[in-house]
Amino acid sequence: MLARAFLLSASFAAAAGVLTAQCVDPPAWSALTSSTEAVTVAIPDGSGGLFAGGTFTTIGGVAAARIARWNGTSWSALAGGVSGTVASVNALLRTSSGLLVVGGTFTNAGGVPANNIAVWNGASWSALGSGIGGFLVKDAVEMPNGDLVVLGNFSSAGGVAASNIARWNGAAWSALGPGVTSPGGMRLLASGDLVVGGSVSGVTGFVARWNGGAWSSVGNLASMVPNAFAELGNGDLIAGGFQTVQRWNGAAWSVAGTLTGGNLTTAYDMARHPDGSAIVVGAFSTVTAGTATSVRGVARLDPLTLAWSDIGSATALTPLGLAGLVGACEVLPDGRILLCQAPALFGGSPRSVLAITAGCPPANAAYGTNCAGSGGPNVLTAKAQPWLGTSMSAVCSGLPTVSISLGVWGLSATNVPLSLVLGQALPGCLLLSFPDVLTAHVASGGIADVAFALPNTPSWAGNLIRLQVVTFEVGGAASSSNGLEFVLGRL
C-alpha cells in the first residue's frame, strides 16, 4: 500500500521532462493486409500474432475461408475455415484455456457440422453441441466461471429456446432469462457482470446487466441501443451507438460525445486501452463534447479530462476509405490498436486490417541483483506497463512477515554497497537507484505492493525512471531488491 511520498530532490518532476526518448508523434498506423472482402474482426492469438475473421476467401494473397491467422510476417488458413450458403465470421474469442471460439453465420467448420459457432483447438475443429439455431452469432465472452455467453440474432441454442443470448457451460446450452430483444453490443465488466445493449423484459432502458443469475437495469438509457461498451480507467462505463456516446458514472447517464459525419453516423465498436482511455470506432468524422474534434472514424476518450482526441493522422488512415469507416477495434496488451474496415458498406473497395504503434511505447525491465533478508531473496517484479495517466507499479516478494519497505525512485542508476548509506544493511546488498523520491510501504504476507501515480503529462513520455525496494526488518537489518527500469508510454 502506498503510504506517503518523500521528495528528496525538488527537480524530480522537472527532470522527468528532460530525458525524453525518441517518440513518434503522431503515432504511426501501418496496414497488415488488404482484402476486397470484409475483415470483420481481429484479436490477438496469444503468441504475438492475431486471428482475423470476416467474409473473405483470400487474405494477404493466401486462400482462407473466412478465418485466418497472422504470425507476425505471413497469413495462413485454419484447416478449411468455415462455410455455408451464406458464410461469415463475426465473433472471435480466445478463452483462458487457449481455445479459439468462432461465431458467425455458417454450417460447417473444417468439415465438421457446426451451426454458427465452433471451436478451434490449434489442430482441429469441433462443434458446441448442436450449435445456435438462427441467423448469426455476433459476439462471445467468457464468464469468470468459464461459461461461454454468446449474443446474436437467433431463437434457440442447442435446441433450447433462447432469445438472442445463450450460455454454454461446457456441456449444454441454456437461455439467460427472457433473453434480449433488438440486441446491440455486449461487454464483460471488471466486476464479472455482463452488460448488454437491447431490451430485456422487466428491465428499464436499453442497457441491462446480468450478474450470473438475474437481469437488472443500468440506469434508464432510452436514447439508443448501444452497439458497444467500454470501461474507462476511472471506473465509468461508456456506451456507443447511433450518433452518440453516453457515459454512466454509477448514478446517471450523460452525453460523453455527439457524433456527426460519415455514412450512418454510428459508433460500431469500443475497447479500453491500457492507459485507461477508451478507443471508439465507427462511421463518423467529428466528436463534439463542448468543442468539436475532427477524427477519422477513430477517437480516444481521456478517462480523467473526458476530452476527445484524434489518434494518429488522417492521411495514415487513407486505406480505410471514405469518412474513416471503421467497423471493429481491438487493443493488444502492448497498447497497439487493431482496426478492421466496416463490412459491405462500400462494395468492391479494399478492406484493411491496420495496426497503430504507440507514439511512445512503454516498457519495463529488471536490472541488477537482489539480496536476501530473513524472508528470502527480495524479488521486485513489474505488474503492468507504465502508461501516462496510470502508474508505475510493482510487487516485491520474499520480505519478512513484519517489515517496512521503501520504494527508492530515481532518474539515474547507482551500484554501491547499501551499507554506505545504511549501516544496518546486510552484507552483499546494493543500492541500485538514486533516491530522488522515497515511498513507504507495509508488507503483508511477505509481499509489498509498490506504486507511483503518473500524471498524464506529454513531456514525461519516453522517460526512464528506476525503482528499487529497500526493506527494514524488526531488529534493524536492511536488505534490498533488484532494480526495475520503467520507460513511460503515451498513445
Q: Render pLDDT for 355-402 as a digit per residue (tens, 0 to 9).
A: 888 888 999 999 999 999 999 999 999 999 999 999 999 999 999 988
Rounded to 10 degrees, what is the CA torsion of 347, 350, 100, 335? -130
In a domain, 52, yes or no: no
Asked if 340 and 327 count as a contact pair (C-beta separation under 8 A), the reply is yes
What nine digits make up the cell of 169? 457451460
User: Domain for residue 336, yes or no?
Assistant: yes
pLDDT of residue 20: 44
User: Domain check: are 202 and 235 in the same one?
Assistant: no
For residues 10 and 89, the model is more confident at 89
Residue 319 per-residue DSSP state: G
Q: Residue 314 has what pLDDT?
A: 56
pLDDT of residue 344: 46
Residues 164 and 41 in one domain: no
Contact between residue 33 and residue 15 where contact means Cβ atoms under 8 Å apart: no
Let me know whether 242 and 288 are in one domain.
yes
What is the per-residue pLDDT for 297? Answer: 85
Please tell me whether residues 147 and 274 are part of one structural domain.
no
Q: Between 340 and 66, where is the model more confident? A: 66
Q: What is the largest CA-CA distance in the chain?
A: 78
Q: What is the pLDDT of residues 201-245, one digit of tens each?
A: 999 999 999 999 999 999 999 999 999 999 999 999 999 999 999
Mean pLDDT across the chain: 89
End-to-end CA distance of the chain: 28
Residue of higher predicted confidence among 340 and 341: 340
Mean pLDDT for 419-426 is 93
Residue-level pLDDT at 9: 38
**CATH code assigned at 98:** 2.120.10.30
284 or 483, which is more confident? 483
* Residue 260, pLDDT above cutoff 50: yes
Residues in contact with 81: Cβ distance below 8 Å, sequence separation at least 6, in sequence order = 64, 65, 66, 67, 68, 109, 110
Which of 219, 250, 268 finishes a domain?
219
* Residue 321 predicted with pLDDT over 60: no
Q: Per residue in 145-190, pLDDT tens? A: 999 999 999 999 999 999 999 999 999 999 999 999 999 999 999 9
* DSSP state at residue 426: P
Does one domain contain both 316 and 285? yes
Adjacent-strand bridge partners of 270: 280
Residue 71 lies in a domain: no
Q: What is the pLDDT of residues 18-68, one digit of tens each?
A: 344 567 777 878 778 777 677 889 999 998 899 999 998 988 889 999 999
Which of 331, 359, 387 lies at the terminal end of a domain, its last residue?
359
Does residue 342 carry a pLDDT above 50?
yes
In this prediction, residues 433-454 reach a mean pLDDT of 94
Give the Cβ contact number of residue 419 at 10 Å: 16
**pLDDT at res. 6:** 38
Over the stretch 69-78, which tens digit does the pLDDT of each residue have? 999 889 999 9
- Whether residues 375 and 470 share a domain: the answer is yes
Flag whether 86 is in a domain. Answer: yes
Pair 244, 322 in one domain: yes
Asked, for residue 73, whether it belongs to a domain, the answer is no
Domain, as residue range, for 132? 78-219
What's the confidence (pLDDT) of residue 131? 97
Q: Of the segments 41-50, 90-99, 307-316, 339-348, which one has the largest average pLDDT value?
A: 90-99
- Mean pLDDT across 125-141: 96
Residues 150 and 117: beta-carbon distance below 8 Å: yes
Is 384 within a domain? yes
**Together in a domain, 251 and 176:** no
How large is the average pLDDT for residues 123-139? Answer: 96
Please check whether residues 239 and 324 belong to one and the same domain: yes
In a domain, 50, yes or no: no
- Residue 458 has which C-alpha cell? 506529454
The alpha carbon of 220 is separated from its chain's Cα centroid by a whole number of angstroms, namely 27
pLDDT class for 292, splitting at 50, 70, 90?
Answer: very high
Same domain, 256 and 192: no
Give the list of residues 6+ apart from residue 390 with CB closer than 8 angstroms, or none: 233, 274, 275, 276, 384, 454
CA distance 24 to 273: 18
Whether 60 is covered by a domain: the verdict is: no
Q: What mean pLDDT do residues 88-101 have?
A: 96
Q: Which of 359, 387, 403 is the last residue of a domain?
A: 359
Q: Which helix (H) or strand (E) holds 13?
A: helix 12-15
- pLDDT recorded at residue 32: 80
Query: What single-letter amino acid sits at 132?
Result: I
Number of folded domains in the chain?
A: 3
**What's the grid cell of residue 241?**
451507438
